[in-house]
């Protein structure tokens, strides 16, 4: 088994759920702690609340992976009489690192909104609001023939040469003669200082995702034999076919009326209550096409209308926004923000697969604290 360091865990996590998928201004990533430490126990949770931190302390947790960021705005005063501020002090006192994956997990394909769509049993699922597409660059690097294969393998292993999900290790090669004269304090791999040199070289060209450029260049430098590798990068108009965005739209297997659909939502998300917005209070409206977006996403309801959804599911709908939805003729079901608790078993499953694949010496523990602040009257 391999010892897991915080930096290595985050590097792998962000490879699968990159930070650039997050919405602007969303404070994703590290919130508290030291990523250079060894991780023995990771706890996955929806929220980071004082009672969750106490649970982590009791279970000797090293690292908390949360969906909701604990720090949304700057902390003005470290007043430990405030339970929320004391929570941060408790985290630091017990050397617990906290990392948040919020809207980047929402936007990720196979992430939060896909998990919610799966719970509802939706088919033919698509993105409700496409907001991000992978931009591509072209890298051209000049390498002596003797080292061309080594450099080619290094940059493709780092992620270059991937074209959609169907092709990898794609590259193009041109052969030619490289000429140079080492001068001053040069330490050339080939040739001597002050003497003109010419070498048979290959120009290797690859397509790469813009977000991976830094990693791929690091791999190129490590593998390249020259003291000063010559390379060029270009922006290209072509974009990868994979798209990302908030929310999902899909179809129920069978049409049902709104009253039955509301019951289906309660059962699917295991909630004790929900709110329904129905124009003309028509509970018999037929529902087949469903749009959803986890969390507080009431402001995105026009996207659900554009997708011709019969109903929109989201949490924390505001009173006046509800009026606007009703006026627009949109049916809305609000099962609350806490339905995102699906992230706990799903993240645990994801991390457990990585643990097996990468031989991590780490324990993955789900939080068992109920962080839903609401109690419904049928629970009283």
| 12 is an annotated ligand-binding site residue | no
Is 106 marked within a binding site? yes
Q: Is 320 annotated as a binding residue?
A: no
Please check if 340 is assigned to a binding site. yes
337 is annotated as contributing to ligand binding: yes
Question: In Å, what is the CA distance from 225 to each residue of 9, 94, 148, 229?
Answer: 30, 46, 10, 8
Annotated binding-site residues for a divalent metal cation read 67-68, 106, 337, 340
Annotated binding-site residues read 67-68, 106, 337, 340
């Amino acid at each position: 088994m391999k010892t897991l360091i915080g930096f290595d865990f985050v590097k792998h996590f962000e490879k699968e759920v990159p930070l650039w998928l997050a919405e602007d201004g969303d404070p994703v990533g590290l919130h508290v702690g030291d990523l250079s430490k060894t991780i023995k126990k990771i706890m996955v949770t929806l929220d980071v609340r004082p009672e969750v931190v106490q649970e982590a302390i009791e279970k000797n947790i090293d690292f908390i992976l949360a969906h909701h960021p604990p720090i949304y705005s700057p902390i003005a005063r470290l007043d430990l009489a405030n339970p929320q501020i004391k929570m941060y002090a408790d985290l630091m006192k017990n050397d617990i690192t906290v990392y948040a994956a919020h809207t980047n997990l929402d936007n990720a394909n196979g992430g939060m909104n896909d998990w919610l769509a799966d719970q509802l049993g939706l088919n033919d699922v698509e993105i409700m609001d496409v907001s991000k597409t992978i931009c591509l660059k072209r890298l051209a690097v000049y390498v002596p023939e003797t080292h061309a294969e080594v450099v080619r393998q290094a940059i493709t292993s780092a992620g270059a040469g991937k074209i959609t999900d169907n092709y990898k290790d794609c590259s193009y090669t041109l052969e030619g003669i490289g000429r140079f004269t080492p001068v001053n304090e040069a330490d050339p791999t080939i040739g001597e200082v002050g003497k003109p040199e010419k070498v048979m070289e290959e120009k290797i060209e690859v397509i790469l995702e813009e977000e991976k450029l830094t990693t791929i260049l690091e791999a190129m430098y490590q593998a390249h034999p020259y003291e000063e590798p010559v390379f060029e990068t270009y922006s290209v108009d072509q974009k990868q076919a994979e798209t990302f965005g908030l929310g999902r739209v899909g179809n129920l297997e069978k049409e049902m009326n709104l009253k039955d659909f509301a019951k289906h939502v309660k059962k699917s998300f295991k909630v004790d209550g929900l709110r329904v917005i129905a124009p003309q209070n028509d509970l018999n409206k037929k529902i087949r096409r469903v749009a959803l977006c986890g969390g507080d996403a009431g402001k995105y309801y026009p996207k659900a209308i554009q997708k011709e959804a019969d109903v929109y599911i989201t949490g924390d709908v505001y009173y006046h926004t509800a009026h606007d939805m009703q006026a627009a003729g949109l049916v809305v079901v609000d099962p609350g923000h806490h339905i995102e608790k699906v992230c706990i078993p799903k993240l645990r499953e994801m991390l457990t697969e990585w643990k097996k694949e990468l031989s991590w010496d780490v324990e993955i523990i789900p939080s068992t604290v109920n962080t839903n602040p609401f109690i419904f009257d049928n629970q009283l």
